[in-house]
Amino acid sequence: MNFQLTEEHLAVQAAAREFAQTELLPGVIERDEHQKFPAEQIKKMGELGFLGMMVDPKYNGGGMDTISYVLAMEEISKVDASASVVMSVNNSLVCWGLEKYGTEEQKQKYLTRLATGEIIGAFCLSEPEAGSDATSQRTTAEDKGDYYLLNGTKNWITNGSTASVYLVIAQTDPEKKHRGINAFIVERGMEGFQVGLKENKLGIRGSDTHSLMFTDVKVPKENRIGEDGFGFKFAMSTLAGGRIGIAAQALGIASGAYELAVKYSKERKAFGVEIAKHQAIQFKLADMATNIEAARLLCLKAAFHKDTHQDYGMSGAMAKLFASKVAMETTVEAVQVHGGYGFVKEYHVERLMRDAKITQIYEGTSEIQKIVISRELLK
Ligand code: CAA
């Protein structure tokens, strides 16, 4: 066992922290309030290599390990979870999915540009009637010989209007149930593809969440990912890694709120002393720090499993289940430590509290993580 980060890990962590403090912090409150996508910041994140961290350098990626990705996700999420969800979806759902399962042509055509952030990607599984029950896909992809005809609606799609490439899951053969599902690469400009309503959200308001409509979109056969019928396994396998990214996002939201609570408690005075001198506050900070450390270890362990080619389905689900709970609890307590100031926007903790909630919902709700974990335990 070695709990020491390497020089490279520390360098990635420091670079992400520096970027978050200098580039993401200014304007984060306004972007949240006005639901403004952090376009310039995302462009810079691409230039610095944060959008294709784990992709092989031969496809323009950073060639880094999952531990580096977790460390960077934590630092970015401490400050701006709207930016970190873009980073997470692009890295672990879109780039990873294409690198693992795409053809060489697909990688050359799409992955090389997604890894640098020249373009960004979206992952389209959820539908109005298929959230947790992901096999109930109503979007259809009819096999027409050399192309598929795509029809249907996707909901709550991160990077909905800003992506150029969309990985879309659809039902080709309903009789085969989940074994009749396929995954496709759909380009923004394809005829019949329309970006729908932008969601007005509780949290991660700077991220760009839309419904998408597909009406007789002709998707060339070469844009199918994997063999016919591989789409559901593609989605599940990709999400297993995605959950490590969201766990790290939740960890970052929690540790960002905790750091603000520590800082504030040393500045604010009540009853003649800094509130950090009161045991009521000290106990809250002790609980927060302990929970955060446990969440961090779960995230790093899941990343270690992925990097060492061990099964990471259960450890990733555990990391997400626990870190998202810690994010919710810690941010609520951080608001409490701040008292009235915590309830106003300038102090950041109310935003972190709103941002925390989604980590218990997307890329599989906490209840879905418990299904994944318990199935593995009872195998
Ligand atoms: N890797 C590969 N294959 C897998 C897998 C994995 N991790 N997990 C399951 N599968 C395969 C199974 O082996 C099975 O295949 P066979 O029948 O051929 O053996 C097939 O998938 C179906 O599996 P289940 O029988 O377990 O399916 P289920 O209907 O019971 O559903 C579930 C399982 C875990 C509940 C799944 O539906 C699920 O994960 N739901 C949540 C969906 C989700 O996470 N959505 C997130 C949306 S994306 C998002 O949020 C991104 C964003 O924008 C931030």
For residue 268 the two structure tokens come to 């604010």
Whole-number Å distance, alpha carbon 94 to ligand 1 midpoint, is: 16
What residue's CA is closest to ligand 1, atom 13?
Answer: 233
What residue's CA is closest to ligand 1, atom 44?
Answer: 364
- Rounded average pLDDT over 43-68: 98
Per-residue confidence at 336, pLDDT binned at 50, 70, 90? very high
Mutate to test the pocket of ligand 1, among 236, 246, 320, 362 (most ligand atoms within 8 A of CB): 236
- Rounded average pLDDT over 291-318: 98
Percentage of the residues of the chain whose pLDDT score is greater than 90: 99
Which segments of 36-120 are extended strands (E)? Answer: none
CA–CA dist 215, 199 (Å, integer): 21
CA–CA dist 74, 12 (Å, integer): 11
CA–CA dist 52, 236 (Å, integer): 20
What residue's CA is closest to ligand 1, atom 11?
Answer: 233
Per-residue confidence at 263, pLDDT binned at 50, 70, 90? very high
What residue's CA is closest to ligand 1, atom 43?
Answer: 364
Whole-number Å distance, alpha carbon 134 to ligand 1 midpoint, is: 7
Domains and CATH numbers, the chain: 7-120 (1.10.540.10), 122-231 (2.40.110.10), 239-378 (1.20.140.10)
How much is the pTM? 0.98
What residue's CA is closest to ligand 1, atom 36?
Answer: 134
pLDDT computed for residue 1 by the predictor: 87
Q: Which atom of ligand 1 is nearest to the CA of 85?
A: 54
pLDDT computed for residue 366 by the predictor: 98
Which segments of the chain are extended strands (E)? Answer: 121-124, 140-143, 147-158, 165-171, 181-187, 193-198, 209-220, 224-225, 269-270, 273-274
Phi, psi of 208 (to 5 degrees): -110, 100
Whole-number Å distance, alpha carbon 312 to ligand 1 midpoint, is: 14
Please spell the DSSP secondary structure of 143-168, one letter per residue: E-SSEEEEEEEEEEEETTTT-SEEEE
Residues with a CB atom less than 6 Å from ligand 1 = 85, 89, 123, 125-126, 132, 134-135, 158, 178-179, 232-233, 236-237, 239-240, 313, 362-364, 368, 371-372
Exposed, middle or buried, 82 (CB in 10 Å: 0-12/13-18/19+)? Answer: buried
Whole-number Å distance, alpha carbon 372 to ligand 1 midpoint, is: 9
For 174, other C-beta atoms within 10 Å of its C-beta total 11
Mean pLDDT taken over the chain: 98
Residue 175 has pLDDT above 90, yes or no: yes
For 196, other C-beta atoms within 10 Å of its C-beta total 15
Please spell the DSSP secondary structure of 280-339, one letter per residue: HHHHHHHHHHHHHHHHHHHHHHHHHHHHTT---HHHHHHHHHHHHHHHHHHHHHHHHHHG
Q: Which atom of ligand 1 is nearest to the CA of 158?
A: 53
Q: Which atom of ligand 1 is nearest to the CA of 134?
A: 37
What residue's CA is closest to ligand 1, atom 5?
Answer: 236
Q: Which residue(s) pair with 186 in the sheet?
A: 166
Whole-number Å distance, alpha carbon 257 to ligand 1 midpoint, is: 32
DSSP-assigned letter for residue 199: P
Task: Output the CA angle 152-158-159, nearest 5 degrees.
Answer: 100
- Rounded average pLDDT over 39-55: 98
CA–CA dist 298, 375 (Å, integer): 19
Task: Catalogue the active-site residues.
Answer: 363
Whole-number Å distance, alpha carbon 234 to ligand 1 midpoint, is: 9
Task: Output the CA angle 52-369-79, nearest 5 degrees.
Answer: 45
Phi, psi of 158 (to 5 degrees): -65, 140
- Rounded average pLDDT over 296-315: 98
Q: Which atom of ligand 1 is nearest to the CA of 375?
A: 26
